[in-house]
Amino acid sequence: MNPVDDPKRLVQQATDLVALIGEHIALKAKGREMVGLCPFHDDHSPSMQVSPAKQIYKCFSCGAGGDAFSFVMNYHKMTFPEALKYLAERAGIKLSDYRPAGGGFGVASGGASGGVDRQKLAEVNERAMKFYRSMLEHPEFGREARAYVAKRGISDEMAEAFGLGYAPDRWDALAVKAAERGLAMGDMQAAGLVQPRQQGGGHYDRFRHRLMFPILDSLGRAIAFGGRKMREEDEPKYLNSPETPLFNKSATLYGLHRAKKPIIDAKTAVIVEGYTDVIACHQAGVCNVVATLGTALTREHLRELRRFAEKVVLIFDADAAGQKAADRAVEIFLGQEIDVAVAVLPTGPGGAKMDPAELFGLAEGRELWRKAMEEAVDALTYQFERFRQQFQGAETLTGRQKLAEGYLQNLARLGWSGITPIRRGMIVQLVAKLLGMGEQDVAGALTRYAAAQPRAMAYGAPGETSGGAGASGGAQHNMISDIDRPLDERTIRRLQTAERQMIGCLLRQPELFHAPLWDGRALDEALTPGDMVTSAGRQLYQTLYDLLADGAQPSLAEFLADLASVGRQELANLATQGESEVEQLMQQSQTELASLLGELARVILSHHQQEAYDRKRSGLLPPGSPGPGTPGSGVPANAGVPADGADQTKLAHELLEHQRNNPSPLRHPWRRRLNTPPTT
């Protein structure tokens, strides 16, 4: 098909996958490929490989893989039409309304059903942002809000860049405008923009007389709002949207859409306290700055930041709330492969704390900021210095003992067992010197306190997913459970490997689909989708089989786009895994692709021949022998009806002939190579 006639082909060809993924995670060159931390699991060493030549990505740890569409859909939790629109806009391509062809690839759509429509939520949020923006710019309605923005030193350029707006001092300004535009009140309510009236019917605005800060995702789409009060008597000071399918407060970082690239470039992310702090930093040219949304730092924030940064600097106040936040940061980052530092901004006249806007308002503001970043100390060191000051300030022996025990218990609770041995030694040395104790005594106390802590589920434990990319372990489990025959696990693994690698061979060289095998039959005749033993293998081969039978020769990237368009990411993962394994097998041996394909087909065909043999063998079982399906019988439960008389003699000859012509595939020398896991 001409790419012009197929929107997804056109968009795919216009998208450089390396550039796309490089906008979201840090990539480094490794030979002909690019590697980086996989964003679809808790990756501690670069497990994701991006191929510029193939325009695909593959994670060798969790099994995630695919093309540009798969990456965008799983990273940003988009549907295929959303991903197509996003990538088209990114490439400067105008698309008419896209309607995916149902059932065009032989697999059913895996899209979500029911629930709130994410696309409609995004649409009403976008409309609301434009409305609030227009109200801020309105000569009369937005006058007070504009005065507040100017008072905070926010320039018009920054107000526009961050989409600042104003919610009018009326009960139903947005609700009325939405009704005029034909927006469904149900969608507006689901987005947290309006609420139903308790009496009389209708809806009223959730945000009224507030300066509005749109909360954007990493793509710059409005997913929620934060409203700052304009009247002293109004409460709360800041009002945020409720959580929705688009908005997870504990995983969202304000300003990330503008800070993402600067963070990647600097390899450092700075976290400040609020909306205006972020804007002040960006206005001053310090753009690797984000903020949490009124919550403590979470593991979800960590997962987001580890995609871009090697180091995180936390800006906290020196007050009690700031100290508590620092403790929380230590708890989250302790033992993780990312550096965390804590910085405190200098105080102003009279010892009052300065926020970033006040700091950058000084002539020497940039220099003071730079100095604060340079003097930022490791989070554990920061915590230890606070303890040292408290310990030295204690006047009694009992007081010092309680402080020491409390500090050691807190350190154990925050994750002592997860600290690297080198860092453990440094901490033990510091604590022992301060307390006047032996290092072995301190280490022993920490070990005892850590052992007494309840065992928590590890972050990123098996079974945890992030966005539906699908870990390979889960995929394998599903494949095994889908097998509808009583096979042992060893046989299952062997057949799984053969099926996905056979498909990988065809994706590398589609013309082999019509090439003859060792018995003279072409592959398309010898192996049909129904011959695949696993459910996933059948569906994946059916998809490819239909395309090849029609004369198409899709590239791997095109095939993955087809799978993405019908929501079958688990099949995209499997196809990418099979192709990658075949590539490694070809690099490790001198076997030609056609020969490897023949060996893989023989494994599958031999399995079916063995099943046929077992069915025939069941006809020769003597009375009292274990029946079909009985453990130790070697005969499937669905074996045929035993024969008698002359039929038994005929079957015996057939079985002897079968044994001569079909040696067990387990004895083939290449079997070990096919079952050897690929190296990363």
pLDDT single digits (tens) 497-528? 899 999 999 999 999 988 888 778 888 888 88
Residue 543 Cα distances to 65, 391, 474, 547, angstroms: 17, 69, 22, 7
Residue 460 lies in a domain: no
- Assess whether 127 and 184 both reside in one domain: yes
- Assess whether 10 and 79 both reside in one domain: yes
State residue 473's pLDDT score: 35
State residue 193's pLDDT score: 97
- Phi first, then psi, for residue 14 (nearest 5°) are -90, -5
For residue 219, what is the domain's CATH number?
3.90.980.10
How many other CB atoms sit within 10 Å of the CB of residue 509? 15
- What is the per-residue pLDDT across 617-669, written as a single tens digit (0 to 9) for each? 665 544 444 444 443 334 444 444 444 555 555 555 555 555 555 544 333 33
Q: Which of 282, 272, 219, 217 is nearest to 244 (CA)?
A: 217
Residue 412 lies in a domain: yes
Order of strands across the sheet with 311-315?
Answer: 289-291, 268-272, 311-315, 339-343, 377-378
- Assess whether 410 and 388 both reside in one domain: no
- What is the per-residue pLDDT across 9-46, written as a single tens digit (0 to 9) for each? 889 999 999 999 998 888 999 999 999 999 888 888 89
- Assess whether 154 and 228 both reside in one domain: yes
- Assess whether 232 and 289 both reside in one domain: no
| Domain final position from 370, 393, 416 | 393
- Assess whether 526 and 659 both reside in one domain: yes
The mean per-residue pLDDT over the stretch 554-562 comes to 88
Assess whether pLDDT exceeds 80 at residue 466: no
What's the rounded Cα separation, in Å, for the pair 66 and 18? 13
- Assess whether 555 and 588 both reside in one domain: yes
DSSP-based three-state secondary structure for 568: coil
The mean per-residue pLDDT over the stretch 522-542 comes to 85
State residue 89's pLDDT score: 87
What's the rounded Cα separation, in Å, for the pair 278 and 345? 14
- What is the per-residue pLDDT across 37-76, written as a single tens digit (0 to 9) for each? 998 888 888 999 999 999 999 998 888 999 999 999 888 8
How many other CB atoms sit within 10 Å of the CB of residue 540? 27
Domain count, the chain: 5
State residue 668's pLDDT score: 38
Q: Are 639 and 612 in contact (CB under 8 A)?
A: no
- Assess whether 220 and 305 both reside in one domain: no
Q: Which of 604, 608, 581, 537 is nearest to 673 (CA)?
A: 581
- Assess whether 224 and 253 both reside in one domain: no
Query: pTM for the complete prediction?
Result: 0.61
Residue 458 lies in a domain: no
| Domain final position from 244, 270, 301 | 244
Residue 563 lies in a domain: yes
> Residue 317 — pLDDT band, cuts 50, 70, 90?
low
State residue 624's pLDDT score: 46
- Assess whether 491 and 607 both reside in one domain: yes
Q: Which of 294, 493, 335 is nearest to 421 (CA)?
A: 335
The mean per-residue pLDDT over the stretch 438-463 comes to 68
- Assess whether 509 and 613 both reside in one domain: yes
| Domain final position from 56, 91, 126 | 91
Residue 494 lies in a domain: yes
Residue 266 lies in a domain: yes
Residue 330 lies in a domain: yes
Q: What is the domain extent for residue 446?
A: 397-451
- Assess whether 478 and 563 both reside in one domain: yes
Residue 465 lies in a domain: no
Q: Are 174 and 213 in contact (CB under 8 A)?
A: no
Residue 235 CB burial class (10 angstroms; 0-12, 13-18, ≥19): exposed
State residue 657's pLDDT score: 57
For residue 306, what is the domain's CATH number?
3.40.1360.10
